[in-house]
Amino acid sequence: MALPDKSFPVSWDQFHRDARALAWRVASVSKEWKAIVTITRGGLVPAAIVSRELEIRVIETVCVASYHDYDTQGQINVLKKISADLLTDEGQGVLIIDDLTDTGKTAELVRSMIPKAHFATVYAKPKGMPQVDTFITEVSQDTWIFFPWDMGFTYQEPIAGAGKG
């Protein structure tokens, strides 16, 4: 898979801080969220943090699998839909959580399922921004975000030696 030149590595500490900031932000929108719907898999970690902060105990998943390069979004398959219980009143009072909106295609699809829910992501790229109600940090479209759950400690070549045999 081709990766963009710019990278934005996020540590666990940074992610926790940003997800907590998202909790503060959505708490200012409403004090009475009925439930969280989290988009798997990237939404699971921020949903855990937001649910803890706001004491939301009803947590639902919408499970999607998509195949995409860094700047394009391919086909999205819905593996599990949202429970009918949460679709009454078109999802009014429900909070949707994801880690990132990138092209906005995932958000557009989930919004079509539950149109009155409030859509919140930790990070947002410009193409996806119109699809979300709340986000914390903007990241440029040509940047790849490295989330902490995808990372491991590896040796880093010294900058001076980069590219030498």
Ligand X SMILES: O=P(O)(O)OC[C@H]1O[C@H](OP(=O)(O)OP(=O)(O)O)[C@H](O)[C@@H]1O
Determine the Cα–Cα distance for residues 144 and 83; give it in Å rounded to an integer. Answer: 32
Q: Which residues bind ligand X (CB under 6 A)?
A: 39-42, 66, 68, 73, 98-107, 128
Q: Kindly tell me which of 25 and 68 has the beta carbon lying closer to ligand X.
A: 68
Question: Nearest distance from residue 63's CB to ligand X, in Å?
Answer: 9
Beta pairing partners, 19: none
Q: Is 99 annotated as a binding residue?
A: yes
Peptide bond before residue 57 is cis, with ω within 30 degrees of 0: no
Q: Is 98 annotated as a binding residue?
A: yes
Question: Nearest distance from residue 13's CB to ligand X, in Å?
Answer: 20
Q: Is 104 annotated as a binding residue?
A: yes
Structure tokens at 92: 């009014």
Buried b (16+ CB within 10 A) or exposed e, 67-91: eeeeeebeebeeeeebeeebbeeeb
Alpha helices in 100-158 (DSSP H): 105-113
Q: Is 85 annotated as a binding residue?
A: no
Question: Nearest distance from residue 106's CB to ligand X, in Å?
Answer: 3
Q: How many residues are there in the chain?
A: 165
Q: Which residue is nearest to ligand X (CB)?
A: 42
Q: Kindly tell me which of 33 and 147 has the beta carbon lying closer to ligand X.
A: 147
Binding-site residue positions for 5-phospho-alpha-D-ribose 1-diphosphate: 41-42, 98-106
Binding-site residue positions: 41-42, 98-106, 144-145
